[in-house]
A and B are shown apart, each in its own frame.
Chain A
């Protein structure tokens, strides 16, 4: 399986590079992926593309405090948690800008029935926090995310979106 995936991921790198407007993206070949299902290059490409897009949606939603911007890319618990953060921010007059600058993505699990894909991503991003439009903090973050995506009618959506220490 590993040898079948390597060429696929070589193609993916260029696809993913185009998908993220500014961030640099590196796709790691699966070291020892879980799951008996073969991951086709087209599927992997779509998953990575949609995941990178979800960062743009999340960033816009938390910057403008608009939960509706999450709908295209998030579903289930991930959407609920982010939407609640938007609510909390709006109530406090706080906004946060998340600017991702690099991603190091590895697909770690493709469930046997094909209804979920899990990936890890070591992300570099900058956070700027504003209180009533006044910047109160800037911080660079280097964090590993664990993400689960599930297919919907037209795209993969993020169902679990969680940073790890």
Chain B
């Protein structure tokens, strides 16, 4: 049994398949962005080597018949290049594919919105594009994770695989107001965005009425959303007083969680309060 000649022949065949051969020019079919490589031309004398693509152009004076070495980082933009070796009396050409480096170096991450109400299904979205150190889009599928940590520390995680260099997520905003951290991670590279969750609409409005001199003092209880978060100060509460022949309306911003206003005391008036689409209780005012 003599395996060696067969192995050597196989190795040579494998090696030759890595090169695009065009007569007297040997160019690697494909290299990783930024990696070193060499190009072999035939003949003798002086010549000029061009590597031409939309994203990069190189020109070198060469000695024909000698390998031309390109150090790491010489050709770093992914794409398809035309390789030309030109001498006084001949021109040879071939193509060279440069693929993105495999290690992600940057995750371009866009998360929306920056501010939203609590408890919104698929309310937070994020999209990523994954790039190598030379800013080439890495198009081979890569595992990516999205992690949302809410104000309470509760965590939502989604694992996805990039396609054509991109991936996305949609996550629910959590029940508690505060700051979320949304992180996208691919390999060792992570990018974080801050999302602010604000309380939702009031869950209900409870209003009381009591005499205040010649007027009525209307006052709400502290307004909470349906998850128990305090509705922010500045939220408008509309008080309405309806009495025979007329109606009075006053808009009041919440202050320290409550809204209050003095309104004229009309016997038999119907008093109500509302905020947005939420209607509170009604009170009929009888002379006291």
Contacts and interface: CB of A to CB of B under 8 A. Distances in A.
A38 interface: no
A108 B168 CA distance: 13
Contacts of B125: 36, 112-113
Q: Interface residues of A toward B: which range?
A: 35 or more
B248 interface: no
Given A34-B166, A82-B55, A108-B164, A113 B30 contact: no
A161 B93 contact: no
A129 B84 contact: yes
A77 interface: yes
Interface string B127-141: 101000001110100
Contact of A85 (B50, B56, B59): B56
B129 A160 contact: yes
Given A82-B55, A146-B137, A139 B50 contact: no
A112 B112 contact: yes
Nearest to A165: B97
Interface of A: 34-36, 58, 62, 77, 81-82, 84-85, 88-89, 92, 94, 96, 98, 108-109, 111-113, 115-116, 118, 120, 127, 129, 131, 136-137, 139, 141, 143, 146, 148, 160-165
Interface of B: 29-30, 48, 50, 52-59, 77-80, 82, 84, 86, 91, 93, 95, 97, 99-100, 110, 112, 122, 125-127, 129, 135-137, 139, 163-168, 170
25 contacts: A35-B168, A62-B54, A81-B77, A81-B135, A85-B53, A85-B55, A88-B58, A92-B59, A94-B50, A94-B57, A96-B57, A108-B163, A108-B164, A109-B168, A112-B170, A116-B129, A120-B164, A131-B50, A136-B84, A161-B55, A162-B55, A162-B79, A163-B54, A163-B79, A163-B97
Given A109-B164, A148-B166, A163-B79, 20 more contacts: A85-B53, A85-B56, A88-B57, A88-B58, A94-B50, A94-B52, A96-B54, A111-B166, A112-B170, A113-B110, A115-B110, A115-B127, A131-B50, A136-B91, A137-B82, A161-B54, A162-B136, A163-B78, A164-B97, A165-B29
